[in-house]
Chains A and B, each alone.
Chain A
Amino acid sequence: MDGMHDLGGKQGFGRVRYALDAQVLHEPWERRVNALYSLAVRLGIFNMDEYRHAIERMEPRHYLTASYYERSLTSLATLCVEKGIVTLEELERRAQGSFPVAMPGAPGRPNVASRRRFAAGDHVKVRSDYVPGHIRMPGYIRGKTGVVVSESPVYPFPDAHARGVAAADEPTYDVRFRSEDLWPNSADTALVHVAVFQSYLERV
């Protein structure tokens, strides 16, 4: 989906700020969230693709104002409710307040029927599909052409795996794009590599 999470290439944020010694986990509740969602995955309540999709389909304003671990918490709660582990009513009773969860989102899709293997050096184009459900394609590469650098091993196809749709695992391709092609007249000259699932690509 073209949701709020898809920030790559968005303008207006200014320079990326970073601290070399930034802590990954700050508050105790963040450590607890991390442990609880990891536990839920271990117990088979949901998989990582479902987890990511549940974050992406948070109500946009909630998504933008929530911290990383609040998004994680929201995904965990959303999936526990949707999977019938607990009701939202029980969570809100225990939390003594409202507990916002994500929006329903769109169904998944199986592998693209015309997908094919690629080799290093192949020129490929990212398909101009608009997928309402989960997709691991950043919007800034849609319709763009690049060169395959290498193939990586197969993993569950996220568009399907995030929604319980049967699909074959797919390889990803390290595709090299020119920044001038991605953002004409708006970026420093650079080569940008993106790992792209097989179903997102077609031969040029």
Chain B
Amino acid sequence: MTRTSDAHPNIATVERRVDAIQEAFEVRGFKPAEAIEQLEHLAEEAWIPQNGARVVAKAWTDPAFKQRLLTNGRDAVAELGLTMPPHHRHLVVLENTPSVQNVICCTLRAGPKRSSRRSSRKNR
């Protein structure tokens, strides 16, 4: 993945570099193994595309929910059991119409080789 540059002829592999951070965290009692395991669970089981699909489907079939969703997305998705961490203060939902299509371009940098599909959640 990383090309060796002239500036770093002895660059460690990415795996070894991640190991280094993880080990440094481990010896300092930060419990990185638990954090990794927890994220695995969240990524595999909790943060799934069906969450968004449920929200959209409800907005399509329940006009009152749709209005709540467009007014305060964070509170609205909480009705469906979807919670957000405190520092994600807001969830802004935009509606696509026949004349307006919203494309969210994450301003974080893109990778050189692969595309990234981001959720439609605006993260500040």
Contacts and interface: CB of A to CB of B under 8 A. Distances in A.
Nearest to B6: A61
Given A32-B36, A67-B113, A73 B18 contact: yes
B23 A94 contact: yes
Interface string A56-78: 00010111111111110100110
B124 A90 contact: no
Contacts of B18: 29, 32-33, 36, 73
B10 interface: yes
B21 A59 contact: no
* A32, A61, A67 interface centre (most CB from chain B within 10 Å): A32
B5 A65 contact: yes
A99 B17 contact: yes
A204 interface: no
Contacts of A16: 115
A71 B108 CA distance: 11
A123 to B, nearest CB: 21
Given A36-B25, A62-B5, A71 B36 contact: no
B112 A98 contact: no
Given A68-B110, A99-B17, A152-B90, 11 more contacts: A17-B115, A25-B43, A29-B14, A35-B38, A39-B31, A63-B109, A66-B2, A80-B24, A85-B24, A100-B8, A138-B107
Interface of B: 1-3, 5, 7-25, 28, 30-32, 35-36, 38-40, 43, 87, 89-90, 92, 107-118, 122, 124
16 contacts: A25-B43, A33-B18, A35-B38, A39-B30, A52-B108, A61-B5, A73-B18, A77-B20, A80-B24, A85-B28, A91-B21, A94-B24, A97-B12, A97-B17, A98-B12, A153-B90
